[in-house]
Amino acid sequence: MAGKRSPARRPTMKDIARRAGVSESAVSFALNDRPGVSEVTRARVRRVAEQLGWRPSTAARQLSGEGAATVGFVLARPAHTLGVDSFFLQLVAGIQEVLAERHLGLLFQVVEDIVDECGVYRAWWAEHRVDGVLMVDPRTDDPRPGLLTELGLPAVVIGGGPDEPSSGLSAVWADDAGAMAAIVDTLYTLGHRRIAHIAGLPHLAHTQRRVRSLRAETRRRGLTEVRSLTTDYSDAEGAAVTRRVLAADTPPTALIYDNDVMAVAGIAAAAELGFAVPRDLSVVAWEDSALCRMVTPWLSALSRDSMAFGRTAARELLALLDGSAPRTVQVPLPELITRDSTATPPG
């Protein structure tokens, strides 16, 4: 069995000086664009610094050895889906609430994909910009936990599962499988046998847990007309997929949406096609929010304290920064709030 890899060490000016064959003061002059070295030496030092992956510290506190006093949070999701996502807004609010108690800042960045996200982690590590990070949206074959462990960046994985490897990082997770089982049980008890799940991004671990749970529940009950369709979480895709499934010869009698925005868009799309909720179609949203109570009828939805989720994740990261060992914490199971959007299916 291979030994545990030691965290990578940030290159220093001493490393550059040794590799370039000059003094540390010459390295300082060259990298800070100050007089005192020749242009040839300056070019050699900068070339060596680039080869070693050296970056200047951008945090003044780090220069005094006090740490960056900042926590990093990178989100690799389509930017157009974020402004209306109530879960992330509340999650960040809970994180910020705890960080403020310790006068820590939150450095937030949106990127295109996890390749870019890994690049951000490397840059933050090299530049001493953050003391630790909060990582969201775990997925299969995820390179991020291994990279963060290799870099030695304290990190908490938000949204992982109990059986998913996190490379020794802390994790905070919710039981998506149990929540989906509760929704299916409610719909089945009402009499629904044709159910469509309008899911989120397909590569996310929590999407896959929900899909697997739906399949397991339908197999257990002997249902054959249940399926999941993935989207980008946006209202546009939520509406488009709703139109597609309702145009079938035998449309579903119940729809489960992976967020509140898609559920509201789905109700509007269903109305365009002549479906009334809940007379013809029952609807459940995964995240409860004010939006679920601003439409007619009010939406049945899974309710969880997303701010508390964020507070828990932030506290686990602070524990790591204080020297505690990594651990996995489960947040309470979301509660299904039944409202007027769910009823018995049409006869």
226-263 per-position pLDDT tens digit: 999 999 999 999 999 999 999 999 999 999 999 999 99
pLDDT of residue 93: 94
Which three-class secondary structure string do you get for 264-307? HHHHHHHHHCCCCCCCCCEEEECCCCHHHHCCCCCCEEEECCHH
pLDDT of residue 58: 39
Closest CA to 252 of 231, 272, 229, 236: 229
pLDDT tens, position by position, 22-53 = 988 888 788 877 788 888 898 999 899 888 87
pLDDT of residue 88: 86
Contact between 94 and 308 under an 8 Å Cβ cutoff? The reply is yes
**pLDDT band for position 83 (cuts 50, 70, 90):** low
Ranges of CATH 3.40.50.2300 domains, the chain:
62-174+306-333, 176-303
pLDDT of residue 29: 81
pLDDT of residue 344: 97
| pTM of the predicted model as reported, rounded to 2 decimal places | 0.79
Question: Can you read off the two tokens belonging to residue 134?
Answer: 């909060």
Phi–psi pair at 204, nearest 5 degrees: -80, 140
Closest CA to 341 of 176, 179, 185, 186: 186
**Alpha carbon 154 to chain centroid, angstroms:** 17
Counting residues of the chain whose pLDDT is more than 90, the rounded percentage is 65
Domain 176-303 has CATH 3.20.20.70: no
65, pLDDT greater than 50: no
**pLDDT band for position 322 (cuts 50, 70, 90):** confident
| Residue-averaged pLDDT of the chain | 88
64, pLDDT greater than 50: no
pLDDT of residue 66: 47
Strand-pair category, 300-303 with 155-158 = unpaired
pLDDT of residue 53: 79
Give me the amino acid identity at 164: E
Please give the CATH superfamily to which domain 62-174+306-333 belongs: Response regulator (3.40.50.2300)
